[in-house]
Amino acid sequence: MHHISTTPFGRRAVSHGLLASQALAAAPAPLPAADKWQLFNDLRTARHRFGVTDRDLVVLNALLTFLPDRQLADAADLIVFPSNAALAERAHGMAESTLRRHLAALIAAGLIARHDSPNGKRYATRSRGGEMLRAFGFSLRPLLVRACVIAEAAEAARDAALHLKLLREAVVLRLRDAAKLLAYAEAEGRLPEGNNLQPALLTAQGTLRRKLDTEALARLQDEADHLLVSVDKLLATPVISEEMSGNAVHFGRHYQSSKPDSHESEPCLETGRGDGEGIPPALPLGLVVKACPDILPYAQGSIRSWHELITAAAYLRSMMGISADAWNEAQRIMGPEVAAITVAAMLQKVGTIQKPGAYLRHLTVKAASGGFTPGPMIMALLSPANAQAA
């Protein structure tokens, strides 16, 4: 009687997982044959469903190369028997101890089955005519038995990936609309003091920079929808006239700064000062960008000049709840570059600053008397303790 041993060689004990993989290797296959590389590609797509890693699949890929035929046929002998040295070579020089760990993971996942010889070595016994009588090694038949399950799991994984992609695109578009509409509302004087829309937008944009699953993205989409509804209500509110506001000076300054082509601080860019004395930017631009990377998404591609940093900070300040008046005053007292450095540093710690607009005004007052420079803020952001906290 032909007998295939189901027990392992050596000290390895029989386990439920081992018996399950052996039973799977002996189960009837739903298909007479399957393309081994198509199966492998499907398994790579759905690897999380089967609890295997990309490194496990490197070993499986190496095992498949020892099967001469492209098809996994039910009528064929699907046992491969490479030595550890040969298998390690095809697995890009993987260490044998690592190789054994990944082989165990593939067996536990029910993707291959082990058929041990009496002495634990992998080999094939052939007839005197060269015909293979029996092989000891790893059976690839579980892949054929689970071919339909693997294909369905891969299709489900592709659908989930597409859904995640579309959901992320929807959130990005909503947050972009919310950001630009908020900037427009602020420029038109429709943004009330003390509103919490800009901090909520900054929090949502920061969350989006992380890798999120479908559930988290769906929650973020709801938050973005709520932001858009709130902005729409602001834009539907009539603008308070200059006479009703009783502050013509503030209105005039606000209106002037809202023009895209306005360059009221441009003549001071060469010296790093605004209308007042200002503070020279003693910090290198590269050091500022390294300490304040959160401002990069708000720049047009990258920040390679002080002008680009100032432009990004000017765009960002309304989202942080900093009024045009506070921003203009900071530029006048500190100089445009130093004001931009200060806003960039505040963005890195925006979660700990309750009122960014009031905080900037406070720093501006200190700067006017020579009591503030942004150097300590930047160096604190570059400190190892702060880097670990980030």
Q: What is the tens place of the pLDDT at every residue in 304-354?
A: 888 889 988 988 888 888 888 899 999 999 999 999 999 999 998 888 888
Classified as helix, coil or strand, 132 is strand
What is the per-residue pLDDT across 185-222, written as a single tens digit (0 to 9) for each? 877 777 777 678 888 888 898 888 888 999 999 999 99
What pLDDT does 299 receive? 82
* Burial of 107 (C-beta count, 10 Å sphere; 0-12/13-18/19+): buried
Closest CA to 279 of 353, 334, 347: 334
Identity of the amino acid at 191: L
Q: How, if at all, do strands 132-139 and 33-35 pair? A: unpaired
Residues forming a β-bridge with 136: 123
Q: How high is the pLDDT of residue 271?
A: 35
**Alpha helices in the chain, H assignment, sequence order:** 16-26, 36-45, 47-50, 54-65, 84-90, 96-108, 141-145, 147-187, 197-208, 214-236, 242-245, 248-257, 285-291, 306-317, 324-334, 336-348, 356-368, 375-381, 384-389
| pLDDT for position 6 | 55
Q: Which CATH architecture has domain 16-145?
A: Orthogonal Bundle (1.10)
The whole-angstrom separation of Cα 137 and Cα 120 is 9
- What's the chain's length in residues? 390
Structure tokens at 143: 């892949």
Return the pLDDT at 240. 44
Q: What is the pLDDT of residue 277?
A: 47
182, 198 contact by CB (below 8 A): yes
Q: Do residues 132 and 77 lie in contact, with contact meaning Cβ atoms separated by under 8 Å?
A: yes
Q: Is 315 exposed, middle or buried (0-12, 13-18, 19+ CB in 10 A)?
A: middle
Output the pTM of the full model.
0.53
- ∠ CA 339-345-350, nearest 5°, is 115
Domain boundaries, the chain: 16-145, 158-238, 267-390
The stretches in the chain having pLDDT less than 50 are 1-3, 9-10, 240-277, 388-390
